[in-house]
Amino acid sequence: MEKVLILQEEITRYRLPIFNLLAQKVDLTIGCLREPVWNDDVSFKYILLKSKQYKGVYYISNLLNCCNNFDVVFYMPHLRIVGYFMLPFFR
């Protein structure tokens, strides 16, 4: 089973059903910057990415090492998260 990582700023409640369906097909992990506020049972894993914020821009420490543990990495482009834009050059 392929290991898939999806990077997002936060995990919103309305996305939980689609993530649960996706987790039935792949080994799914969601990486987020904020602690989830839902307490539903989910069939995927999540990791809280350690980040620092400076003037509205996030720097995620150890992002490349985290991504190297997965077969596939998806991310939603976000101008405030600089590390996401560097991933295609180091993967």
Per-residue pLDDT tens for 36-50?
887 778 999 999 988
Amino acid residing at 71: D
Distance CA 23, CA 89 (A): 27
The pLDDT value given to residue 8: 87
| CA 72 to the chain's CA centroid | 11
3-state secondary structure of 65: helix
pTM: 0.82
